[in-house]
Amino acid sequence: MVGIFDDKTFSSISTRLNASGINSYSKVINKSTFNGYSSISSKLNIPKDKEIFSLTRQRLNQNKEIIALEYFYTPKNLFPDIAEYDFSRVSLYDYMQKKNLKPSFFDRKLTIIPASNSLAEMLNVKKNHFVYCFEFIGFSKENQIVEYTKSYIDTSKIKFEYTLTK
């Protein structure tokens, strides 16, 4: 499968997969609330002592093959009831839209990296198998950071082509 995207259609992993003809669904691996991680806090532009909600999901195709692993983070104060939702059944962006905080634009980065032991296990690939690593920071219409997401996609399951515009 090849996904073709321009600079304006880049958003959620579901959007990228569906645009590539892959019907995907989510399996929630973990959800938690934490604080004290300066690397994540700095991505969200919040103080280190503020609570962060974390959601880890595997994305599977119609054949139940794992094609992606997604780590999502958001400031907990923006979505106080987020832990109550089952994001294997509810779209994260639909939920954020209901709160009027769905990302409107993104800072994004794409790299290709060798899978570590833990990443290889979660994606069901061999260690050092190359995977896409998408990082993006989502901003609300008011320019507030509402999410930091890091997604890993198996390069043997999907290919991406991008057209960037000025």
Pick the CATH number of 2-163 from 3.40.1190.20, 3.40.1410.10, 3.40.630.30, 3.10.310.30: 3.40.1410.10
Q: Tell me, what's the pLDDT at 24?
A: 78
User: Is the C-alpha dihedral spanning 85, 91, 93, 99 positive or negative?
Assistant: negative
* Model pTM score: 0.88
Q: Tell me, what's the pLDDT at 162?
A: 67
Q: Tell me, what's the pLDDT at 62?
A: 86
Question: 131 and 155 in contact (C-beta within 8 Å)?
Answer: yes
- With 0-12 CB in 10 A as exposed, 13-18 as middle and 19+ as buried, what is 92? buried
Q: Tell me, what's the pLDDT at 36?
A: 85
How high is the mean pLDDT in each 10-residue block of the chain (166 residues)?
A: 47 63 86 93 96 96 91 98 95 94 92 97 97 94 96 86 68
For the chain, what are the domain ranges?
2-163
Question: 107 and 137 in contact (C-beta within 8 Å)?
Answer: yes
Q: Tell me, what's the pLDDT at 76?
A: 98
